[in-house]
Amino acid sequence: MAEKDRPGDDVPGDDELRADAAAGDDVPDDAADTATGSGGTALAERSADSDSPKAKKRRGGPLGRVGSFFREVVSELRKVIWPTRKELLTYTSVVIVFVVVVTAIVSGLDYVFGKGILWALG
């Protein structure tokens, strides 16, 4: 069986909570609401999210829409997790090696099939 309260656990003492739940003790009220689907956080988040860009009415003409598009693009680019220089070089080298290997395989097969066709028809 696993060791209790190991170093690095998120919450010390949570093993007792798991043991209680496994023994069939009462479920806390907030967990019961979530389990029965009577609302909880998901509905609160969904109702708070009604201000989404899709729900907003588009205003302005074509120029306003273009400006809105670029603002949204910048907003999305800020959310991107950009790779570090080391990661970028690693990924680039992996792609280049993969392309070289696949090119060699395809070239080899092309050569073999070309010779086979020339032998069969030639």
Please calculate the CA angle 45-48-52 and round it to the nearest 5 degrees: 110
Q: Is the pTM of this model over 0.85?
A: no
Say what the pLDDT of residue 112 is: 97
pLDDT in tens, 6-31: 555 555 555 555 555 555 555 555 54
pLDDT in tens, 30-82: 544 444 555 555 555 555 555 555 545 556 788 889 999 999 999 999 999 99
pLDDT in tens, 72-110: 999 999 999 999 999 999 999 999 999 999 999 999 999
For every residue of 15-59, DSSP letters joined together read HHHHHHHHHTPPPPHHHHHHHHTS-SHHHHHHHHGGGSTTTSPP-
